[in-house]
Chains A and B, each alone.
Chain A
Amino acid sequence: MTQDDLTITDPKMKAHGVNVFYGEKQAINDVSIDVGTDLVTAFIGPSGCGKSTFLRSLNRMNDTVASARVTGQIELDGEDIYAPSMDVVQLRARVGMVFQKPNPFPKSIYDNVGYGPRIHGLAPNKADLDVIVERALVRAGLWDEVKDRLQESGTALSGGQQQRLCIARAIAVDPEVILMDEPCSALDPIATAKIEELIHELRGKYAIVIVTHNMQQAARVSQRTAFFHLGTLVEYGKTTDIFTNPKQERTKDYITGRYG
């Protein structure tokens, strides 16, 4: 099986018939998507189409919104993540998240990365934590830039470095899936290129889902693309197919820039 096969035989996450409501308003309507284990999946669509909402329902970040309600089935390795037996804290450790605006804690670089392993008890002692922090920073491509100033505040870094620090923070707890919510929208083109490069390197180690406004970015980094419009999933398929040979009229209009 090649990586670009359309059928995903071993999905990491399976969503089936998912609806998300904010109070009376329905934000997501009957969406079914399989997220491949070794793939980067991109969600594209115009603002307000529900792609971020759907992303946040994959690690139950929507729980923090009092009025949000999710129906349907979302599974991680065949386990229903909305089942009462699922511990949401563990789920978020297994399904990490990187946000739109870089949001490092106002603590040192070391503490930013070490925070997750510490609260989950992944590092029994300081030496283990040092190893985890170094590995995460190396994987996030930030180690060489910060290895001499790990005790400096994470908020003193540049925007692009902050975002890579956030990625390091997410991978420090060794997640299975990383959700990225427009990770480059607050960054300049050079920082964006670095993040995209990083996504390439992380592919295969983690299942990655990325929401983006930038269609070239989706084309560059992903193997699967889902196009959302008005809360529905219009089309989902191989990225090459979506961009070169869309089946739906609405997809075609969007990627050719007729609206959105």
Chain B
Amino acid sequence: MNRQTAPTDWKGAVMQKRIAGRYAAERRFRLMGLGAVLLSGAFLAFLLFVMVGNGARGFMYTHVEVPVDFRAMPLTVDKTRLGDADADQVIANAGLADIVAFAADEALGTDGSKLISENAWKEVRSAIKDNPELLNARTVFDLPASSEVDIAAKEGAKGALGAKVDALEKDGKLSTGIHWPFFRNADATDPAVAGIWGALKGSVLTIFIAFLIAFPTGVLAALYLEEYAPKNRWTDLIEVSINNLAAVPSIIFGLLALAVFINWFGLCQASPLVGGLTLALMTMPVIVIASRNAIKSVPPSIRDAALGVGASPVQVVFHHVLPLALPGILTGTIIGMARALGETAPLLLVGMRAFIGDVPGGICSPSTVLPMQIFLWSDEVDRGFVEKTSAAIIVLLVVLLSMNAFAIYLRNKFEKRW
């Protein structure tokens, strides 16, 4: 055969230049990829650093030692009623708040009552309820400081307040420790008693409701669409609709829920029930899509094998397809649930942004959720809420990360290899 052109010169200058260019392109690409990884790593590290740095202090609180002598300032209250349900009211009416304020003034000097939290007397109250004998004695209580004192103690302050705090610290009257009320209480106007538990419990209940509704519905819908539904124009339409539903902005689900669940069905406002239903609406399309993909990836040969020994379609689904698709379905579901957990917008509209001072008792009592609590606290004027906000963010992130870790665990546990 005749060659029309000269033989390729593999060693020539043009070829060497091509080789050098190829290597350079390779290096460039690798560096860019590495840069992208480093940048996202830096973002993550920055986020964690700032959050942990600010938030860790949110879990701590400053307490002031205040001796209260009930022998000098008796609290006139019928001791037999301290076990009753209205004991709180009885003690409050007897003027405990004034006694504690007076004791603080006496112990800490003029305006001493301003140094402790205005809710500090409530701690004394619960101590009395636990042990009525305190009413006959002089006791030193570790009472939560006021928000200004707490910040001054943590960050240092100038002026009269700073001097006062320094003096207290020198006397050993200040102590800083983990602030358990933060993990026990619901929202409050006073950072000394505001807690995350109300929002955390609200989130857990809401997500539980959402899971209870969205998971079975989503998985059943996916199974039906993949295994039973005929492929025609109607199922195509349903598929497009589900994909579109997954892309609908979440606030629109909130409006829908407001109109349907609250205005039409008359369900309880601002409750985990309605919030859960709203998030279920939002998460279901995500679960359907993830489940359909997982079901699709089960090899058809397994279906043939089961049908070939005489399994009915339902047996094929429940004995073979569903167990094999489960890791994918669970991963998709948990990621959907994690997204729902961080969702704020749709819940604004069903009333979950209200100030709720009580820990929700059930799925129908008013409540708020973690991201909403973060939003509410970040809006507060009181400086004490700044670190509460960071602490709440840490709680939310811990919950999210544990959910993701659980997803990975489930996937590895159920994954079958062949």
Residues of A at the B interface (CB closer than 8 Å) are: 59, 61, 64, 66, 89-93, 96-99, 101, 103-106, 115-116, 119-120, 153, 155, 166, 169-170, 172-173
Contacts and interface: CB of A to CB of B under 8 A. Distances in A.
B320 A92 contact: no
A173 B305 contact: no
Contacts of A59: 308
Contact of B307 (A61, A66, A98): A61
Given A66-B230, A66-B231, A153-B418, A105 B306 contact: yes
| Residue among A96, A106, A169, A172 having the largest count of chain B Cβ atoms under 10 Å | A106
A176 B308 CA distance: 13
Contacts of A169: 305, 309
B100 interface: no
Contacts of B307: 61, 64, 92
Contacts of B131: none
B311 to A, nearest CB: 6
Given A66-B230, A98-B308, A99-B301, 20 more contacts: A61-B308, A64-B304, A89-B310, A89-B312, A92-B308, A93-B309, A97-B304, A99-B305, A101-B301, A103-B301, A103-B304, A105-B302, A106-B417, A115-B306, A115-B311, A116-B310, A119-B309, A119-B315, A153-B418, A169-B309
B324 interface: yes
A159 to B, nearest CB: 12
Given A106-B416, A106-B418, A173 B301 contact: no
Given A66-B231, A105-B302, A119-B315, A99 B308 contact: yes
Interface in B94-145: none
Interface of B: 230-231, 299, 301-312, 315, 319-320, 324, 416-418
Contacts of B310: 89-93, 116, 119-120, 173
Nearest to A118: B319
A101 B304 CA distance: 11
Contact of A170 (B303, B309, B319): B309
A50 B230 CA distance: 25
Contacts of B306: 105, 115
Contacts of A99: 301, 304-305, 308
Contact of B320 (A61, A91, A105, A166): A105
A99 B302 CA distance: 11
8 contacts: A89-B310, A93-B309, A97-B304, A97-B308, A103-B302, A106-B324, A115-B319, A119-B319
Given A92-B310, A120-B310, A155-B418, A103 B315 contact: no
A192 B315 CA distance: 32
A64 B3 CA distance: 57
Nearest to A103: B301
Contacts of A66: 230-231
A104 B315 CA distance: 16
**9 closest residue pairs by CB, A with B:** A93-B310, A155-B418, A116-B309, A103-B301, A97-B308, A92-B310, A106-B416, A103-B305, A106-B418
B417 to A, nearest CB: 8
A166 B305 contact: yes
| Residue among B301, B307, B309, B418 having the largest count of chain A Cβ atoms under 10 Å | B309
B309 A173 contact: yes
A106 B230 CA distance: 28
A105 B293 CA distance: 20
A105 B304 contact: no
A105 B305 contact: yes
Contact of A115 (B309, B312, B324): B309
Contacts of A101: 301
Contacts of A120: 310
A94 B144 CA distance: 79
Contacts of A153: 418
| Residue among A92, A170, A172 having the largest count of chain B Cβ atoms under 10 Å | A92
Contacts of A92: 307-310
Contacts of A173: 309-310
Nearest to A117: B309
Nearest to A166: B305
Contacts of A91: 310
A61 B304 contact: yes
| Residue among A66, A97, A105 having the largest count of chain B Cβ atoms under 10 Å | A105
B113 to A, nearest CB: 71
A99 B417 CA distance: 20
Contacts of B230: 66
A59 B309 CA distance: 10
A103 to B, nearest CB: 4
Contacts of B324: 106
Nearest to A99: B304
A137 to B, nearest CB: 15
B305 to A, nearest CB: 4
Nearest to A102: B301
